[in-house]
Chain A
Amino acid sequence: MNQKMKKVAKLLLGFLLLPNPSLFAQDAQMADTMRSEGKIYVVVAIILVIFFGLIAYLFYTDRKISKLEKRLK
């Protein structure tokens, strides 16, 4: 492989790797400690409970409207 081809290959490789953010932002601070302690699951649980509550409310409203529709028929 001649010198020129090596240069082109290097350049191509560079472009291929460039879009990968993990290559140049390894030092970005993330909530790694929180995750390793498992406390992130607390957050997930809280959000899921609120979500289920709202969905249940929506579901019962849906059922109530269905009953009203039957009565008005």
Chain B
Amino acid sequence: MKSNWWKIASVALLIYTIIGGLLFEVPRLNIVNETIRGLYFHVPMWFGMVALFLTSMIYAIRYLRNPNFRDDAYSVEFANVGLVFGILGIITGMIWANYTWGSPWHGDPKQNGAAIALLVYLAYFILRGSVNSEEQRARLSAVYNIFAFVAMIPLIFIIPRLTSSMHPGNGGNPGFNMYDLDSKMRLIFYPAVIGWILLGFWITSLRIRMKLLEERINESEDEKSR
């Protein structure tokens, strides 16, 4: 139980996020109105995705420095759960955009960039699925993983800021660009980000442990058949 404190912290932070996110006061803004509360749930998905993809890349680098099954398994599963967070982020974004921007897909630079980034990571899994040799698959996908992360950064963080995105903090949006000045929202937003990231790591840890167990079963089966 002593190594599980961060799982409990994740649940506590998320309970706080749900209660505070729905009940606490938020800025009264036109157009967004109460949907501003989506910030506590939609944006942490992206923070979670970036955190998981970053960890995935770190394990990819570790694998390339010293090839071993463990680091490859970590790298895949972090990318896997990161992709789930990204898909949830894009779906919640589409729901939100439908009510505040007028249509689910507005061609917003950040929306497009996020979609391309997800496709780049989808290609990572296609690449893994198309190589039969275990070692080659791990090595190729580790190299690709680094490129995918490096490609994601400008797509999500740089290009939307260079052009005019309707996302807050990226160019102009008169309806909704003040939230980051509101300290009341930060009080929920930051715990929400940490809570969701920790939940992502928890889910990933379960998947990694399952993968390692599977590998151990495979090994013992190989020994028996010999």
- Contacts A25-B30, A29-B33 known; A48 to B178 CB distance under 8 Å? no
- Contacts A25-B28, A72-B213 known; A51 to B15 CB distance under 8 Å? yes
Q: Which one of B86-94, B106-114, B116-124, B203-211 is at the A interface?
A: B203-211
- B202: nearest residue on chain A (CB-CB)? A58
For A, the interface residue count at a CB cutoff of 8 angstroms equals 24
Of residues 17 to 42 in B, which have CB atoms within 8 Å of A's CB atoms? Answer: 18-19, 22-23, 27-30, 33-34
Tell whether A2 is near chain B: CB-to-CB under 8 Å: no
* A interface, over-half SS: helix
Assess the A26–B28 pair: CB atoms within 8 A. Answer: yes
Per the bound structure, the CA–CA distance linking A68 and B213 in Å amounts to: 8
Q: Which of A21, A27, A47, A62 contacts B178 (CB 8 A)?
A: A21
Tell whether A65 is near chain B: CB-to-CB under 8 Å: yes
Tell whether A43 is near chain B: CB-to-CB under 8 Å: yes
Query: In the complex, what residues of B have CB within 8 A of residue A43's CB?
Result: 22
- Contacts A19-B178, A21-B178, A44-B22 known; A69 to B202 CB distance under 8 Å? no
Tell whether A11 is near chain B: CB-to-CB under 8 Å: no
Assess the A48–B30 pair: CB atoms within 8 A. Answer: no
On B, residues with C-beta under 8 Å from A are 7, 11, 14-15, 18-19, 22-23, 27-30, 33-34, 178, 181-182, 202-203, 206, 209-210, 213, 216-217
